Structure 1
């Protein structure tokens, strides 16, 4: 009898090892994480950073796109596309460090920038505060927008998004238990 084919190990996820992240994400947010992983691989980057997460959020989640005013989504996506051919080239081969957390940490997650790990954990905490078992794309967008020094916020600002206003709208929606 042949032994079963060995399973391909999964890439580490941004949470404590004793917590199953997939069970704590909506289907849409799990798709965002998968999209970010594919983008990292395709772009030849070393790790998922907050700009990868933002790009995948905008491509995948209609609720996240609805959080923006008018043509902002197109402008943000334009900057994200330029990342691989323009200003983002300076990011390749570097570790995203927004200053929110130390870059070298004992509990660092392989394949994720420290700000991306922090954003994902904040998204999970935001959902839990609402009494939800799963984090959504808007939870992650709120967490990204809250870190004013991360790459995702750099992209949002370059695209003309008023990040403090976006954060305030997302924070208000999260407190009311409603989505933007």
Structure 2
């Protein structure tokens, strides 16, 4: 048996955090699948953490209600195009930097959510509770992602021509119905 070093313990705790997030009963089956998809994307892309762009990409691919928020037209294709570009090199300047840290801190070990993405997950839970829903739904997570202008997902949205403030306002109006 290998000795447990602080580095190894930290990695194990972070991996447990990922599994807890994916199996969090507050998420429900659909959103747990979104988180699992975002984690797979982060690992495949060689990113150290699940960030808001990974979550946005997974939401757009798997949640029809989230896609409907963007309406008809080329917006979804444009967004997915930017997200795919990111996964093949567009986001290289993001690698090794922690989302939400100003890009200064370097991540040296595989981790769960970026600090900003973790905050988004909590915001999504609070939003679902505030609106009297059970498990968090995709639009709750989308609202959480777009509320913070520092989010990498917001940068992708802006590059694709989507105003994150307008999108958030639409999500708030639709959730109050």
Coarse TM-score class (shorter-chain normalised): 0.7 to 0.9
- Taking structure 2 as the reference length, the TM-score comes to 0.81
1:81 aligns with one of 80, 84, 108: 84
Q: How many residues align?
A: 158
Moved segments of 4+, more than 3 Å: 8-11
Match of 2:116 in 1: 115
The answer as to 2:72 corresponding to 1:56 is no
* Contact 2:57/2:83 (<8 A) preserved: yes
Superposition pairs of residues 90-101 of structure 1, within 5 angstroms: 90-97=93-100
The answer as to 2:17 corresponding to 1:12 is yes
- Unpaired runs of 5+ residues, structure 2, are 1-11, 106-110
2:69 aligns with one of 67, 70, 76: 67
The answer as to 2:161 corresponding to 1:156 is no
Q: CA deviation at 1:171?
A: 0.9
- Unpaired runs of 5+ residues, structure 1, are 1-7, 104-109
- Taking structure 1 as the reference length, the TM-score comes to 0.80
* Contact 2:22/2:35 (<8 A) preserved: no
Q: RMSD value over aligned CA atoms? A: 2.5
Q: Distance in 2 between matches of 1:73 and 1:28?
A: 20
User: Could you say what secondary structure the match of 2:124 adopts?
Assistant: helix
